[in-house]
Structure 1
Amino acid sequence: MSTAPTAASSNPPMPAAPPPSVSIVVPVFGSGESLHELVSRVQAALSPLVSGLELILVNDGSGHRSWQLIEALARSEPQVRGLDLMHNYGQHNALLAGITRARNSIIVTMDDDLQHPPEELPKLLAAIAEGNDVAYGKPQRREHSPWRNLASRLTKRAVRAALGAEMAEKSSAFRMFRAELREGFAGFRDAQVSIDVLLSWSADRVACVAVDHHPRRQGRSGYDLGKLLAVTLGMITGYSTLPLRLASVLGLLSATLGLGLLFWLLLQMLTADSQPTGLTLIAAMIALFAGLQLFAIGVVGEYLARMHFRTLGRPAFVIRTETGPTPRLENQDP
């Protein structure tokens, strides 16, 4: 008796996902001479892995010479687009200008000085392919001075304490994320910009990838200890209520301390043969309470100042001109 052949029970293999398209956003400030090498290395690293590639070079007030280099690259390389900002708005503002104009499904931000090796981009792309919304390239060893490294760590810890976001510890200027995350900050209108905070509003799955970090070839970093501390203060007061809560706690503690001292003075007056003057103690307590009050007023003043500047409608950036495929020449804020 013959048996009928049985049909194969295994499911057919799933078709492979199409390769993504990638936009690279690079703020340019003081490292224009390295742009030719940056573009060629990015193309070599990503062209075999993606369906489309564009590099958006944002001249953040780096002078006419840098813009001439960007224009020359845009004429010779069809994948290069250039944005020329009206003046120096800052790294994160320049990044926001490029991010809002990126056309592809995956967006990358990296520095212009080749400290972020383009050859590490496939690692970030693999992390995104695993289902992550954001992939940060965290240097195995930072090629900065010890003081700069310490200031960076302190800044991230302060921001994490203020925002309660794990992204603060993982964050890096070398980042890759899905373009859909822009919908979370499409209505953002503020001159104080933090790309990592904006991404944290929408991102749920965040990866941290170990990458190499090369020393700076030319120029020097625009972030010294003072600027890093100013950025930290701006992020804490601009995106969290931690200082207000701290001022409330200090006010409660000072009120409790003052009430305890009042009871102590009354007890001394009732039990001692002579009434203690306590002028030194009273003067010290007045100075303490006055200092705490001034601190609380200063914290409230920081928030009022930010509300004031936001009502002025100061743009995060203004574009002077664009170059590259189908440029848009009108000036507009995000």
Structure 2
Amino acid sequence: MNLSILIPLLNEEESLKELYTWIIKVMQEHNYAYEIIFLDDGSTDSSWAIIEEFAQDNSNVKGIRFMKNFGKSQALHAGFAKAQGDVIITMDADLQDSPEEIPGLYEMIVNGKYDLVSGWKKKRYDSVVAKNLPSKLFNWAARKTSGVELNDFNCGLKAYKNIVVKNIEVSGEMHRYIPVLAKNAGFGKIGEKVVQHQARKYGETKFGMERFINGFLDLITIWFLSRFGKRPMHLFGALGSVMFIIGFMLAGFIGISKLYYMYNDMRYSLVTNNPWFFIALTSMILGTQLFLAGFLGEIILRTKNNEERYKVASEVNFI
């Protein structure tokens, strides 16, 4: 099979028929062997009923429906697990991603030059204040932190080799950072393609300004996981040891100073009246706690079980 097209969605009943017709047109024009997997992330409108209609008419259409809204990352995780195509394309269901970009993305993967190609919405039709400026700041921070030189981490239109999606773990809200996850997994051939961005035709966006706040928090998380996820003791243990040694040295200096004053019959105050005593004590306590945090992190890594992150209500056309 040439292509698996994954479409995560939430309450997009108005756009689904137009999107489906458009994708089928592109598939037929290029004679692709394909599957379309709609990933319904707990829609409360008639989106799932429409997907079931598509599946009845076309055996290449498949669907996964969550019992409730678990998030885009969880939807993509479920889709990646089911995808059978040599190349996997992800795109949003709101018609802002053009299916006409699929052949170009596909060719960039099959020629062997890239493991992953991310779309770049160079010209956007979103609000400048609400989305464009925060997005530019977010993408700059993501580039500097991750070392992945992409201009648009948030673009939902991406293409992957099958082996890439089978070897990355997308959880939480990490869908923005799939290229970083791929790089960390050893897939370093990451490219970018300028794609057409279209104004939203139906409804309203499901994401508010909080997505950028969450995005920056996720960026910190993925930076930590990429550097210390396998060995948390390397971070917490090192910081804890440094802080404990500093505190211990300060405490030693205070003790020696007191002995010096006592030996020379000089007047001295109680140790507890010295502010450096409390700084030393705090440093040793924090150092011990950080060391224990690293130790516990190591234990958790070795004993953790993979928990189920979402519940599937129903599926269509999967054997």
Cα offsets for 1:113-160 (capped at 9, x unmatched): 2333323223322321331221111332564253455345545655x2
Say what the alpha-carbon RMSD is for the aligned residues.
Answer: 3.7
Aligned equivalents of 1:150 and 1:293: distance in 2? 37
Name the counterpart of 1:290.
Answer: 285
Asked if 1:213 is matched to 2:206, the reply is no
CA contact (8 A) 2:37 2:63 kept: yes
CA contact (8 A) 2:52 2:316 kept: yes
CA contact (8 A) 2:251 2:277 kept: no
Cα offsets for 1:227-285 (capped at 9, x unmatched): 33553465456665265433223223313422442454356443794335452221233
Q: How many residues are aligned here?
A: 297
Correspondences of 1:106-125 after superposition (within 5 Å): 106-125=87-106
AA paired with 1:275?
Y
- For structure 1, the residue ranges without an aligned partner over 5 or more in a row are 1-19, 329-334
Note closer, same or farther for the CA distance 1:255–1:180 as it changes in structure 2 (3 Å cut): closer
Note closer, same or farther for the CA distance 1:81–1:183 as it changes in structure 2 (3 Å cut): closer
CA contact (8 A) 2:182 2:188 kept: no
- For structure 2, the residue ranges without an aligned partner over 5 or more in a row are none
Name the counterpart of 2:218.
Answer: 231
Residue 95 of structure 1, CA deviation: 1.1
Q: TM-score, normalised by structure 2?
A: 0.74
CA contact (8 A) 1:148 1:224 kept: no
Name the counterpart of 1:14.
Answer: none
Asked if 1:150 is matched to 2:134, the reply is no
| Partner SS for 1:83 | strand
Match among 176, 179, 188 for residue 162 of structure 2: 179
CA contact (8 A) 1:31 1:219 kept: no
Aligned equivalents of 2:290 and 2:212: distance in 1? 23
| Partner SS for 2:81 | helix
Correspondences of 1:264-275 after superposition (within 5 Å): 264-265=253-254, 268-269=257-258, 270=260, 273-275=266-268
Aligned equivalents of 2:199 and 2:234: distance in 1? 40
Name the counterpart of 2:316.
Answer: 323
AA paired with 2:211?
D
CA contact (8 A) 2:243 2:286 kept: no
AA paired with 2:206?
R
Residue 67 of structure 1, CA deviation: 0.8
Match among 17, 39, 45 for residue 36 of structure 1: 17
Residue 107 of structure 1, CA deviation: 0.7
Correspondences of 1:1-334 after superposition (within 5 Å): 21-63=2-44, 65-131=46-112, 132-140=114-122, 143=126, 144=131, 146-147=133-134, 149-151=136-138, 153-154=140-141, 157-158=144-145, 160=146, 166=148, 171-172=153-154, 173-182=156-165, 184=167, 194=174, 196=178, 199-200=182-183, 201=185, 203-217=187-201, 218-221=204-207, 224-232=211-219, 235=222, 240-241=227-228, 244-262=233-251, 264-265=253-254, 268-269=257-258, 270=260, 273-275=266-268, 277=271, 279-298=274-293, 310-311=304-305, 313-324=306-317, 327-328=318-319
Note closer, same or farther for the CA distance 1:96–1:140 as it changes in structure 2 (3 Å cut): same
| Partner SS for 2:30 | coil
Aligned equivalents of 1:85 and 1:101: distance in 2? 14
Note closer, same or farther for the CA distance 1:153–1:220 as it changes in structure 2 (3 Å cut): farther
CA contact (8 A) 2:4 2:85 kept: yes
